[in-house]
Structure 1
Amino acid sequence: MSAPGLLVAAPRSSSGKTTVALAVMRALTRRGLRVRAAKCGPDYIDPAFHHAATGRPSFNLDSFAMAPRLLDALASETAAAADLVIAEGSMGLFDGVRAAESRTGANADIAARYGWPVVLVVDVSGAAQSAAAVALGCRLYDPRVTIAGVILNKVASARHRRLVEAGMERAGLPVLGVLMRDAQLVLPERHLGLVQAGETADLAARLDRLADLAEAGIDLDALVACAGGTVPDGAGPMPSPPGQRIAVARDAAFSFLYPHLETGWRRAGAELVPFSPLADEPPPVDCDVCWLPGGYPELHAGRLAGAERFLDGLRSFARAHPVHGECGGYMVLGRALEDADGATYPMAGLLPVETSYRRRKLHLGYRVARLCDDGILGPAGARLIGHEFHYASELSAAPSDREALARVTDAEGVDLGLAGHRVGTVTGSFFHLVAADPG
């Protein structure tokens, strides 16, 4: 029997979802509950924080990018090994793409699919009773979703709390907890979101501090009592590995690899062999594929340019085996990378790509790709779903038909042209793979 679940969501971004979710996860884990977390949508940073807070892996659940059977397989594995599932939303509760109902990528799709009640985090800074009107709108907007209660965040004073709670009472929304305005609650951030879990100083102490605040300000017993829903049993198809023995770059510059991909690859019998470019380690020669995930190479461009063993080893590896780079990995496979200060550093030179972080431009959204040729991601014509989120500008020319990795559209089918590159067995693109052929 699957564990009951809750979805921690909010009316909009930057409301405190991650802070509240981590506080509750850690507090309930300290009480001895087997808490499993999940992240709605394409986020590769928050699941690592979930893992740190609960001691258990966290998967992404994405109703647009994942086929229903893959979605159910990941949710089933999450719920089968837990006493309680806590899913964290992304953006606003109903924010997604224009697509068929239940396939929009919105948090609400996940809550509706598994019957998980929503705990709504409401940032009440700058509002009092009006905050209840926003929360009430969330309760009424989609009849598929149940709002179990609200947690008030950034409450300024006792008087402010009384005013907000009066509004919530009028709207018929239970207040499950209150967090006062406190700058110490904020986790450090950089341009792609939170500073990664592995780089956050004193992370365990920070999580325990959040748990202490949850114990003091949230009715955890009432919150747990709100949990419900069920996840269908049974395993679905997991992602196929790109090779049997996969060299995976893993350090502060390369860390954005979705947990469900790693799990799927291992389930299929693949072995993942980590190596660190920042430590000047080359991909192990006894591997048959090299995968360079995204991350923050722009913060370490000088070290990477000086990592001669890594770069020479990567070039040597690419002469005999496939190499693929996503986003940051794609930039490192290119000819040069300009950092935010305008300094330009040579990279591996395996793809005709030059990128710049000085000329910042936001690229954000789902990518639906059709592969132009056979490769480790699939055969020519295979349909992949990925997500792009970066601020780099590409200085080099757009790829031609003969050298592009894929032709891509956005989530609504708008043609975005050719994307990525392929040169021999070396491939790369700015989009992070989420799943193959989710139709």
Structure 2
Amino acid sequence: MSARAIIIGAPRSGSGKTSVTIGILRALARRRIRVRGAKSGPDYIDPGFHEAATGLSGVNLDSWAMAPGLLNALAGNAAADTDFVVLESAMGLFDGIPGTPGRSGAASDLAALYGIPTLLVLDVSGQSTTVAAVAKGFATYRPDVRIAGVVLNRLGSERHRKLCTEAVESLGLPVVGAIQRDPTLTMPERHLGLVQAGEHDDLMAFIDRMADMVERSLDLDAVMRLAEPLMPSGGDFAAALPPPGQRIAVAQDKAFTFIYPHVANHWRAAGAEIVPFSPLANEAPDSNCDVCWLPGGYPELHTGKLAAAANFRAGMAAFARTKPVHGECGGFMVLGEALEDADGTTHRMLGLLGHATSFAKRKMHLGYRQARLLSDCPLGSAGTVIRGHEFHYAQTIVAGNDQPLADLADGQGAPLGPSGCRRGHVSGTFFHAIARGD
């Protein structure tokens, strides 16, 4: 029997989607309901909160980056062993990129494809009955996307709640939640989004406060009644990233955290073993592994400690002499010669590739990416197209003289030129791989 599902959407980031999602997930889990969180689009951080709230691994569902078969397979797996799926939208509900219909990357693609109703979270601070115009726009913008209910967020008073509720419900949309303004419930952020789940000093207490807020402010039974069965069909894993080896050494600590749950889960399902190690603890990759993977994360916050990790440095150099090493974004930065931190201090990195990067003069790089590999590497064989995304503030200040790893294009196919680096067994890119192209 498939789970029932609902999407938590909003007009924009910062409306309160994540707080509402985490609160609902935890409140349902406290009722002993088997519930799973999902996230539309490319996001590493929110699935960590989803997993902490429910005890079940989160999943990303990305209509642009994932071929339909892979998208259906992941959605089907998410629904197969749970009672309820709460899917959190990235940015605004309809925010994606122009292109093939149904493959924009927006959460609305998933709403239309699977018939999942949306619970709309509206930040009503600074307005009252105007909220009805916003709700009506959402309800009528796409006939194939159903707005099933509304949660009013950041209310200032009981009178404010009454005005907004009456205006929205005059449209025939039920208001199933009304959340008072409470600065203590704000989730801390840094340059790539929310502070990660594992960095909260008392994570479960924080998550339980979100659940308390939901139980106090939302009609949870009404929210559950709005949901519909999630029943994808025709799924397969042909476009999933295959494991790059039988035993994969993966850097895993506060500096290296950004690996998609669906990627790691598929590697395990395909029979590979993931062997974690911590560069911040001065650990080296297990020499018995076949390949080493340095994920993205926040190495720029730990540059001094990484620079001083002599055992990590020696172990990486020894590994790279005979076996493949790949780094994504933060991992790519650490593979280079040097990394300049936000204060302008330059720290020596691994030197396995010739580039140097800087976080002192930040510039945002953000968007979907299509990469055609120019040579074999842990991402795939030469000629393979990889779909993924780029999101970082660091800049390359020394290009080095390594060979490029891929020809890069944006999400709409506009060429961006050569990207990444390759030297011997070592490769790296600023873009994060999500799936193979189609």
8 Å contact 2:277–2:283 — kept in the other structure?
yes
Give the match's secondary structure for 1:348.
Answer: coil
Counterparts of 1:327-342 in structure 2, within 5 Å, are 327-342=329-344
Distance 1:32 1:427 in 2: 45
Q: 1:353 aligns with which of 331, 343, 355?
A: 355
Matches within 5 A, 1:419-434: 419-434=419-434
**1:206-245 pair list within 5 angstroms:** 206-233=206-233, 235-237=235-237, 238-245=240-247
Take 1:94 and 1:240, find their aligned partners in 2: how far apart are those partners?
31
Q: Could you tell me which amino acid in structure 1 is paired with residue 164 of structure 2?
A: V
- Deviation string 1:2-29 (CA, Å, 9 cap, x unpaired) is 1110000101111000000000110111
3-state secondary structure, aligned to 1:317: helix
Task: Note the aligned Cα RMSD (angstroms).
Answer: 1.1
> Which range moved further: 180-189 or 329-338?
180-189
Q: What is aligned with 1:107?
A: 107
Match of 1:280 in 2: 282
CA change 1:333–1:16 in 2 (3 A) is same
Alpha-carbon shift at residue 367 of structure 1 (Å):
0.6
Within the candidate set 363, 366, 381, 2:365 is matched to 363
Displacement of 1:230 in angstroms is 2.8
| Offset of residue 435 of structure 1 | 0.3
- Partner in structure 2 of residue 256 of structure 1: 258
By how many angstroms is 1:233 displaced? 4.8
In 2, Cα distance between equivalents of 1:229 and 1:5 = 6
Contact 1:102 1:109 in 2 (8 A): yes
List per-residue Cα deviations over 1:386-419 (Å, max 9, x = no partner). Answer: 11111001101376xx700101111111111111
2:31 matched to which residue of 1?
Answer: 31
Q: Which runs of 5+ in 1 are unaligned?
A: none
**Cα deviation 1:172-221 (Å, max 9, x = unaligned):** 22101011100111121111111111111211011111111111110000
Kept after mapping to 2: 8 A contact 1:133/1:171: no
Aligned partner of 1:70: which letter? Answer: L
Q: Cα offset for 1:266?
A: 0.7
Alignment of structure 1 residues 32-431 onto 2, 5 Å? 32-233=32-233, 235-237=235-237, 238-397=240-399, 403-431=403-431
| Aligned-partner Cα distance in 2 for 1:231–1:45 | 26
Aligned length: 436
Contact 2:250-2:276 within 8 A present in 1 as well: yes
Structure 2: distance between partners of 1:412 and 1:68: 18
Question: 2:77 is paired with a residue of what secondary structure?
Answer: helix
Contact 1:27 1:215 in 2 (8 A): yes
Question: How far has the Cα of 1:234 moved from its partner?
Answer: 6.1
Using structure 1 for the length normalisation, give the TM-score.
0.98
- Secondary structure of the residue aligned to 2:122 is strand
Whichever residue aligns with residue 68 of structure 1, its letter is P
Q: TM-score, normalised by structure 2?
A: 0.98
**1:166 to partner: Cα distance:** 2.0
Q: Which amino acid aligns with 2:204?
A: A
Q: 2:228 is paired with a residue of what secondary structure? A: coil
Decide whether the 8 Å contact of 2:68 with 2:235 is kept in 1.
no
Q: Unaligned regions of 5+ residues in structure 2, if any?
A: none
Measured against aligned partners, the alpha-carbon deviations of 1:96-148 in whole angstroms (never above 9, x if no partner) come to 00011110000000111111100000011111111111111011011111101
> Separation in 2 of the partners of 1:170 and 1:235?
41
Following TM superposition, where does structure 1 have runs of at least 4 consecutive aligned residues deviating by more than 3 angstroms?
none
CA distance in 1, matches of 2:351, 2:318: 12
C-alpha contact 1:150 1:177 (8 A) present in aligned 2: yes
Q: Helix, strand or coil: the match of 1:205?
A: helix
1:301/1:339 contact within 8 Å kept: yes
Q: What amino acid sits opposite 2:221 in the alignment?
A: D
- Give the Cα separation in 1 of the matches to 2:157 and 2:75: 39
Matched AA of 1:344: T
